[in-house]
Amino acid sequence: MSPRKKARLAFASALVLLLLCGTAATFTIVRLLASAKWIAHTYDVQVTLGDIQSALSVAARTRTSYLNSGDSSFLAEYESAKSQIHTKLALVRELTRDNPTQRSLCNQLDDLILRRIELLDTSIEIRRSGPLDETTQLRLSRESVAVGAEFTDVMASMMQEERNLLHQRQEVSGNLFTATLGILLATFALAILLFWIHFRLLNKELAERELMEDNARRVSGRILQLQDEERRRFSRELHDSLGQILAMAKMHMYVLLEKNPHDELLAEIDDLLDQSVTETRTISHLLHPPLLDEMGLPSAVRWYTEGFAQRSGIQVAVEIAEDVGRTSHPAELALFRVLQESLTNIHRHSKSARAEVSLRSIPGMVVLCIRDYGKGIPRETLQHFLKTGTRVGVGLAGMRERVREQGGKFEIQSDETGTTISVMMPVAATETAANPLAAAASAD
């Protein structure tokens, strides 16, 4: 399986596991919330039972106060307590309708409450009808106490049932909370693990891609180096073979012209030989200028720009600083090739009538700048080249690759007013720079 497919599989697995863990976490959280509601429900039942017991105690206390004092103002509080008892009892029935045990106990509680209220009402009616009958009231109080004892037992049973339910529900809630926490932690851990795997796979793929790009850059640099070596060999072959043959032909033609000074055909052939010698020398120098090896970059730049201006008719302004010294031969050759390619592009594409070339030195750097005033490079094409290095000819890409191979910096700016190419090449005072003739000889 390719690294890209592995990365996609790891990412898809991470998403699926996160989705499953999220679903499980959602399910447990929903159940946890439901359990919390049941716990709150149990507390509501307990509070309501306590309210019933409290209201019943208030009713018994106000009845006793009325019996002892005969003050009818206690009856209003008594009636309020009775109403509250019935309201709370109905609420308990509603809260416990899903529990058969509590429903049965609630029925018993309802009967006991009705019996006790009936005894309290009877006691109050007897007191209203005449003087306090202690014997009858004592009997009613005993019956009320007996009913109260049963009421207390039933209340205790209902409270115990709710406590048992509360304990069960709290235990379930605790388990759900633990499960939810475990699922979330497991989700987090799995996500980190899978994303780490995904990161490792992507990092590996990026490393392999960088290695491939580095290898491609090295191959490209090697191709450019071989191209320069081939140009040097062709230049020397033109100079040493074809150039010598043409020179010998020129010498023989000179002898013939001395013998036949009025022969127009020989004169024309002599002119053609002169042009051939000149053109051969020009091609040889363009392939590899000897001034670059012998005198250095400034002389080669001046020589090439002068020849370019004569051949193309483009006015070229050259500014070369006096402090520009020698650097390594590969760096000088790269700068010269940038100059060649830039001026060629100006002649072929920009249609500019003039150009400017400057060569200067800054601390640790040699700076070459070529500017034209032509139509410029389309913005979209330039942006794409700056980002990806494509959508342009091999000239710009080759220039940038040459400069990058020597550790330099290549910059290009272009708009409708023209194009500017700037190259900053580090100065490397090497043995090659100090003795370029020896380096050229060793290369050959």
Given a contact cutoff of 8 angstroms between Cβ atoms, the answer to whether 113 and 56 are in contact is yes
CA 398/CA 131 separation, integer angstroms: 126
Tell me 307's DSSP state. H
CATH pick for 3-202 out of 2.60.460, 3.40.50, 1.20.1330, 1.10.10: 1.20.1330
Give me the tens of pLDDT residue by residue for the chain, a chain 444 residues long. Answer: 666 676 677 677 777 777 877 787 788 778 778 878 877 888 888 888 888 888 888 888 888 887 777 777 888 888 888 888 888 888 888 888 888 888 888 888 888 888 888 888 888 888 777 666 677 777 777 887 888 788 888 888 888 887 887 788 778 878 878 887 887 788 778 778 877 877 787 788 778 777 877 776 676 667 666 666 676 676 666 666 776 777 788 787 778 878 887 778 878 888 888 878 777 766 766 666 766 777 788 888 888 888 888 888 889 999 988 888 777 888 888 888 888 888 888 888 888 889 999 999 888 889 999 999 988 888 887 777 777 665 555 677 778 888 888 888 989 888 888 899 999 988 864 333 334 433 443 344
Q: Residue 84 and residue 56: Cα distance in Å, rounded?
A: 9
Q: Where are the domains of the chain?
A: 3-202, 290-443
- How buried is residue 362: exposed, middle or buried, by Cβ count under 10 Å (0-12/13-18/19+)? exposed
Q: How far is CA 193 from the centre of its chain?
A: 18
Same fold, 3-202 and 290-443: no
* Strand pairing report for 354-362 and 365-372: antiparallel
With respect to CATH, is domain 290-443 assigned 3.40.50.970? no
Taking the C-alpha atoms of residue 289 and residue 298, their distance in angstroms, rounded to an integer, is: 12
- Rounded Cα distance, 57 and 47, in Å: 15
**Model confidence pTM above 0.85:** no
**Other Cβ atoms within 10 Å of 256 Cβ, number:** 13
The number of C-alpha atoms within 13 Å of 121 and in the hemisphere containing its C-beta is 9
